[in-house]
Amino acid sequence: KGEGLKALEGRKWDAVVDTSGYVPRVVRASAELLAPHVQHYTFVSSISVYKDLSRQGLDETATVATVEDATTEDVEKHYGALKALCEQAAETAMPGRVFNVRPGLIVGPDDPS
């Protein structure tokens, strides 16, 4: 458990919206800590989780990207696969209580995308 998660200990919430998960280790740590204290966990993932974005009509049943080394934290190289692993980490920590949102680009002021 990272020092940054101490602020979450001993509190309860109706729901959590995780907009900052990029590596499974971090999502796993926060989801496991929060699991006994929250009813619902929304994870903002990415459309990049899909293995083949050239296909039309993708839905949540489409195959997701994978990475050979599941411990890698090279987000720049394995962004989509790591987001897919983050979804899995949250679901493992809170079975049946996770909603994964897979949007396209979400940008704002000063975003270089």
d(C-alpha 31, C-alpha 23), whole Å: 12
Structural domain boundaries of the chain?
Answer: 13-101
- Per-residue confidence in pLDDT tens, the chain, 113 aa: 447 788 888 899 999 999 999 999 999 999 999 999 999 999 999 999 999 999 999 999 999 999 999 999 999 999 999 999 999 999 999 999 999 999 998 888 988 87
Based on DSSP, count helices (H) and strands (E) in the chain, helices before strands: 2, 3
Instruction: Please compute, for residue 74, the number of CA atoms within 13 A of its CA located in the half-sphere on the CB side.
Output: 7
Contact 23, 86 (CB under 8 A): yes
pLDDT at 6: 84
What's the residue count for the chain?
113
- The pTM assigned to this predicted structure is 0.90
pLDDT at 7: 86
- Apex 72 CA angle, 67 and 77, nearest 5: 65
What is the torsion angle, in degrees rounded to the nearest 10, for the CA atoms of residue 89, residue 90, residue 96 and residue 97? 170
pLDDT at 112: 83
